[in-house]
Amino acid sequence: MLPSHIQSLIIDMDGVIWRADVPIGNLAAIFDRIRARGLKFVFATNNSTKTSSQYVARLTELGVDAEPWQVVTSSQAAAHAMAQKFPPGTKVFMIGEDGLRIPLEERGFEILSTEDAPRAQAVVMGLDRDVNFQKAVEAALLVRRGIPFYATNPDKTFPTPRGLIPGAGAWYSIVTTATGVEPIVAGKPFPFLMDLSMEKLGTRNDETLVIGDRLDTDIAAGQGVGCPTALVLTGVSTREQAEGWAPKIDFIAEDLATLIG
Ligand SMILES: [Mg+2]
């Protein structure tokens, strides 16, 4: 049972509400209870390729009512971080998919083609299933010139039915290796995705519970911004690992249904 000072939830998706696309528990019933308790919630994911609307469609199929504002991605967090530094109209060279393009356009950035990349004032990389040699060349040349370098998320791998494939972190390491420059990373465990989630929820950090299945991303991100944290044991990290984690995790639960009570 969650304490009454918790007003809102930031919920990871993979390993918390589904695993390899299979729902974990009766999601419709779980989210009915969350609403009945008056808790606000957003889903926060390091995935950079999908848009909020694509996630909402999947959630609806599983019986979870959510609006696009309630899905916060690492691509939105990257656009948010960039908008704190650059005005609308800033020319951006992007390596990524619609999940990244749309939030950048919503912030008013001008997305350049690969041919126009040398005019960019900022570079941002996410997972791009059409990545190619020339895109990596342009990104590396820009970063070498000192153009600010952002990335959506640090995940070295991405789960697929066939196994783990290279994630955004693996792809941006090409530019990092070639330039010696590390990007500013928006996703968990860094603070930008959490900050944007709290901005959308309109709640303070001490009343916002961060729920995830991974210690080194979800829990570290929540603790990094001063939120209480809950680990569920339906994904990557184990109870033994959680009990050895410092600082201490506020809640460890078998699954989301048990946590909500
Ligand atoms: Mg997860």
Write out the chain's pLDDT in tens, 261 residues. 788 999 999 999 999 999 878 999 999 999 999 999 999 999 999 999 999 999 999 999 999 999 999 999 999 999 999 999 999 999 999 999 999 999 999 999 999 999 999 999 999 999 999 999 999 999 999 999 999 999 999 999 887 888 889 999 999 999 999 999 999 999 999 999 999 999 999 999 999 999 999 999 999 999 999 999 999 999 999 999 999 999 999 999 999 999 999
Give the pairing of strands 71-73 and 163-166.
unpaired
The neighbour count for residue 12, using CB atoms within 10 Å, is 25
Q: Tell whether 1 is covered by a domain.
A: no
Domain boundary among 141, 166, 182: 182
Based on the domain organization, do 100 and 175 belong to the same domain?
yes
Based on the domain organization, do 126 and 160 belong to the same domain?
yes
The CATH number that applies at residue 15 is 3.40.50.1000
Distance 16 CA to ligand 1 centre (A): 6
Domain boundary among 131, 164, 182: 182
Q: Are 93 and 112 in contact (CB under 8 A)?
A: yes
CA triple 66-68-72, angle to 5 deg: 100
pLDDT score for 158: 83
pLDDT score for 258: 97
Based on the domain organization, do 99 and 122 belong to the same domain?
yes
pLDDT score for 79: 98
For the chain, count helices (H), then strands (E). Answer: 10, 15
Known catalytic membership, residue 14: yes
Residues near ion ligand 1 (CB < 5 Å) are: 12, 14-15, 213
Domain that holds residue 127: 85-182
Give the DSSP per-residue string, 217-234: IIIHHHHHTT--EEEETT
Taking the alpha carbons of 198, 52, 98, 218 in that order, is the dihedral positive or negative? Answer: positive
Domain boundary among 182, 199, 217: 182
Q: From the centroid of its chain, how far is CA 240?
A: 25
